[in-house]
Protein backbone atom coordinates (compact mmCIF):
# COMPACT_ATOMS: atom_id res chain seq x y z
CA UNK A 1 0.00 0.00 0.00
CA UNK A 2 1.08 3.52 -0.71
CA UNK A 3 2.05 5.58 2.31
CA UNK A 4 0.31 8.72 1.00
CA UNK A 5 -2.85 7.28 -0.52
CA UNK A 6 -5.19 8.78 2.02
CA UNK A 7 -3.45 12.00 2.96
CA UNK A 8 -5.35 15.25 3.18
CA UNK A 9 -2.71 17.05 1.10
CA UNK A 10 -4.40 18.87 -1.78
CA UNK A 11 -2.69 19.73 -5.04
CA UNK A 12 -3.34 23.32 -6.09
CA UNK A 13 -0.54 23.65 -8.66
CA UNK A 14 1.29 26.39 -6.79
CA UNK A 15 4.65 24.59 -6.90
CA UNK A 16 7.28 26.23 -9.08
CA UNK A 17 8.20 22.86 -10.58
CA UNK A 18 4.63 22.33 -11.78
CA UNK A 19 4.53 25.84 -13.27
CA UNK A 20 7.81 25.23 -15.15
CA UNK A 21 6.49 21.94 -16.54
CA UNK A 22 3.29 23.67 -17.62
CA UNK A 23 5.36 26.40 -19.34
CA UNK A 24 7.29 23.72 -21.25
CA UNK A 25 4.02 22.09 -22.34
CA UNK A 26 2.67 25.48 -23.49
CA UNK A 27 5.89 26.21 -25.40
CA UNK A 28 5.85 22.78 -27.11
CA UNK A 29 2.21 23.17 -28.13
CA UNK A 30 2.85 26.69 -29.42
CA UNK A 31 5.89 25.48 -31.37
CA UNK A 32 3.88 22.64 -32.90
CA UNK A 33 1.18 25.16 -33.85
CA UNK A 34 3.73 27.28 -35.72
CA UNK A 35 5.31 24.24 -37.43
CA UNK A 36 2.00 22.72 -38.49
CA UNK A 37 0.34 25.95 -39.59
CA UNK A 38 3.40 26.78 -41.71
CA UNK A 39 3.49 23.24 -43.12
CA UNK A 40 -0.26 23.32 -43.75
CA UNK A 41 -0.09 26.64 -45.56
CA UNK A 42 2.99 25.61 -47.56
CA UNK A 43 1.47 22.25 -48.58
CA UNK A 44 -2.07 23.65 -48.85
CA UNK A 45 -3.22 20.95 -46.42
CA UNK A 46 -6.37 21.79 -44.51
CA UNK A 47 -5.78 18.75 -42.32
CA UNK A 48 -2.46 20.12 -41.06
CA UNK A 49 -4.00 23.55 -40.57
CA UNK A 50 -6.87 22.07 -38.55
CA UNK A 51 -4.46 20.07 -36.40
CA UNK A 52 -2.41 23.24 -35.90
CA UNK A 53 -5.50 25.00 -34.59
CA UNK A 54 -5.92 22.15 -32.12
CA UNK A 55 -2.38 22.81 -30.86
CA UNK A 56 -3.24 26.50 -30.55
CA UNK A 57 -6.38 25.70 -28.56
CA UNK A 58 -4.37 23.42 -26.27
CA UNK A 59 -1.77 26.16 -25.77
CA UNK A 60 -4.45 28.65 -24.81
CA UNK A 61 -6.12 26.18 -22.45
CA UNK A 62 -2.82 25.41 -20.72
CA UNK A 63 -2.03 29.13 -20.53
CA UNK A 64 -5.37 29.71 -18.82
CA UNK A 65 -4.52 26.90 -16.40
CA UNK A 66 -1.16 28.49 -15.64
CA UNK A 67 -2.74 31.89 -15.14
CA UNK A 68 -5.35 30.59 -12.70
CA UNK A 69 -2.87 28.81 -10.41
CA UNK A 70 -3.08 30.20 -6.90
CA UNK A 71 -6.18 32.28 -7.64
CA UNK A 72 -9.46 32.10 -5.78
CA UNK A 73 -11.66 29.04 -6.03
CA UNK A 74 -14.42 31.14 -7.60
CA UNK A 75 -12.09 32.37 -10.36
CA UNK A 76 -10.75 28.86 -11.00
CA UNK A 77 -14.33 27.58 -11.22
CA UNK A 78 -15.24 30.31 -13.70
CA UNK A 79 -12.18 29.54 -15.82
CA UNK A 80 -13.10 25.83 -15.78
CA UNK A 81 -16.61 26.70 -16.95
CA UNK A 82 -15.17 28.92 -19.72
CA UNK A 83 -12.91 26.07 -20.86
CA UNK A 84 -15.87 23.69 -20.91
CA UNK A 85 -18.01 26.13 -22.88
CA UNK A 86 -15.23 26.66 -25.41
CA UNK A 87 -14.96 22.89 -25.91
CA UNK A 88 -18.72 22.63 -26.30
CA UNK A 89 -18.69 25.47 -28.82
CA UNK A 90 -15.97 23.77 -30.86
CA UNK A 91 -17.84 20.48 -30.76
CA UNK A 92 -21.09 22.24 -31.61
CA UNK A 93 -19.54 24.14 -34.48
CA UNK A 94 -18.09 20.91 -35.88
CA UNK A 95 -21.52 19.30 -35.66
CA UNK A 96 -23.08 22.37 -37.29
CA UNK A 97 -20.56 22.32 -40.15
CA UNK A 98 -21.10 18.59 -40.72
CA UNK A 99 -24.87 19.08 -40.80
CA UNK A 100 -24.47 22.04 -43.17
CA UNK A 101 -22.32 19.92 -45.50
CA UNK A 102 -24.96 17.19 -45.45
CA UNK A 103 -27.76 19.66 -46.20
CA UNK A 104 -25.85 21.33 -49.03
CA UNK A 105 -24.94 17.94 -50.49
CA UNK A 106 -28.58 16.84 -50.37
CA UNK A 107 -29.72 20.10 -51.95
CA UNK A 108 -27.13 19.84 -54.74
CA UNK A 109 -28.00 16.23 -55.54
CA UNK A 110 -31.72 17.15 -55.61
CA UNK A 111 -31.03 20.04 -57.99
CA UNK A 112 -28.88 17.80 -60.19
CA UNK A 113 -31.70 15.24 -60.36
CA UNK A 114 -34.19 17.98 -61.27
CA UNK A 115 -31.93 19.29 -64.03
CA UNK A 116 -31.47 15.77 -65.38
CA UNK A 117 -35.24 15.20 -65.36
CA UNK A 118 -35.82 18.51 -67.15
CA UNK A 119 -33.29 17.60 -69.83
CA UNK A 120 -34.88 14.17 -70.28
CA UNK A 121 -38.34 15.75 -70.49
CA UNK A 122 -37.09 18.28 -73.01
CA UNK A 123 -35.48 15.52 -75.08
CA UNK A 124 -38.61 13.33 -74.89
CA UNK A 125 -40.79 16.29 -75.92
CA UNK A 126 -38.63 16.94 -79.00
CA UNK A 127 -38.79 13.28 -80.02
CA UNK A 128 -42.58 13.14 -79.79
CA UNK A 129 -43.04 16.32 -81.83
How do residues 32-66 score in pLDDT, each as one tens digit? 999 999 999 999 998 888 888 889 988 998 999 88
48 versus 87: which is more confidently predicted? 48
Q: What is the mean pLDDT of residues 110-119?
A: 78
Rounded to an integer, what is the distance from CA 45 to the centroid of its chain?
Answer: 16
Among 5-19, 56-70, 85-99, top mean pLDDT goes to 56-70
Contact 66, 19 (CB under 8 A): yes
* Whole-number pLDDT of residue 24: 95
pLDDT at 1 over 90: no
- Helices 46-68 and 16-43 cross at an angle (nearest 10°) of 160
C-alpha distances (whole Å) from 44 to each of 91, 117, 119 are 24, 38, 38
* Whole-number pLDDT of residue 113: 80
C-alpha distances (whole Å) from 119 to each of 84, 90, 108, 110, 116 are 52, 43, 16, 14, 5
Is 0.75 surpassed by the pTM of this model?
no
Q: Which residues contact 18 (CB under 8 A, 6 or more apart)?
A: 69
pLDDT at 96 over 80: no
Out of 8-12, 51-55, 75-79, 110-114, least confident range? 8-12
* Whole-number pLDDT of residue 82: 85
Amino acid sequence: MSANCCSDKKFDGVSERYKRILLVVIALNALMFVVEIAGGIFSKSQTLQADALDFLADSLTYAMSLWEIGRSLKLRSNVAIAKGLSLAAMGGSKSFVNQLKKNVSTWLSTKARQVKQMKEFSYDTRLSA
